[in-house]
Amino acid sequence: MNHRSKILGTIEYSAGEVFTFEDGLIGFPDDTRYILRSADREELMYWLICVDAGGPEFLAVRPEKILPRYNLKSLVYENEKLSFLRASLGEEHLFCIVSVPENIRHISMNLRTPLFLNSRTRTGMQYGPPGLQRKPIRYLIHRELTGCGAEEERSGTLVIQRKLNETVYIGDDIIIEVLDFARGSVKLGVNAPRKTNVLRGETRVTPQEENIRANGTANAERLQEVLRSVKASGR
């Protein structure tokens, strides 16, 4: 069978290559049939291409190659929707959708709602188990990809060290105070005018919005720029 891909042009595929997402992907419920194509020789990144007419196309990554501590085997899956994966779940069945914005330093992967694929049943699902609800939807991966230092990664960002009960002023009317620090988390107090919209970072974007954004950033030219950056680092 042939499919006209926006990224790869005309590609051939067989029925045995297709993964069926019964519920589609988040934001794309009517597009259910996808194939994977390796996007680089190291098989770090893949094209996830919908073979339904006019379907979306994404860049996806095997997260264990970038973030080894992202190990879903340690999660408890109470949800029956994941029963088809329980017997065969391994890193090779796990992918995260990648967004490549104009500035490739902001390339990110969605850790909250990964893709679960079962190569035996050729089924797939995009789902965020309860244990992932605090994971970021936009986890920046340029540093992991290239191995660059913290200072390089944070260029353009003001980094300030503060102790307990110390504050930071933003402009004349926003005050941030460090209230508590325990078990790897920081409790901040934000004193700002009522008109100021204060949101946790992870609540500013939804999985649906991120999928739509990722579909819009999937193109071969941007990927080649990312891969050149990785190779230049000697990774």
Whether 196 is covered by a domain: the verdict is no
Residue 110 sits in the same domain as residue 161: no
Domain of 166 in residue numbering reads as 157-191
Q: Spell out the residues 6+ positions from residue 18 whose beta carbon is closer than 8 angstroms to its own.
A: 33, 34, 35, 51, 122
Q: How many domains does the chain have?
A: 2
CA angle 165, 170, 171 (to 5 degrees): 135
Residue 128 sits in the same domain as residue 224: yes
Whether 140 is covered by a domain: the verdict is yes
pLDDT at 233: 59
Categorize the per-residue pLDDT at 86 as very low, low, confident or very high, splitting at 50, 70 and 90.
Answer: low
- Distance between CA atoms of residues 1 and 223, nearest Å: 26
pLDDT at 203: 61
Residue 85 sits in the same domain as residue 184: no
pLDDT at 234: 58
* CATH assignment at residue 110: 2.30.290.10
Question: Which of 52-56, 156-160, 205-209, 214-218 comes out lowest in average pLDDT?
Answer: 156-160
Query: With 90 as the cut, is the pLDDT of residue 171 above it?
Result: no
pLDDT at 26: 94
For residue 127, count other CB atoms closer than 10 A to its CB: 19
Pairing of strands 167-170, 45-50: unpaired
pLDDT at 30: 95
Whether 133 is covered by a domain: the verdict is yes
Q: What is the pLDDT of residues 92-118, one digit of tens each?
A: 578 999 998 888 888 899 998 999 888
Q: What is the pLDDT of residues 112-137, one digit of tens each?
A: 899 988 888 888 989 887 777 778 88
Q: Is the pTM of this model over 0.85?
A: no
pLDDT at 155: 39
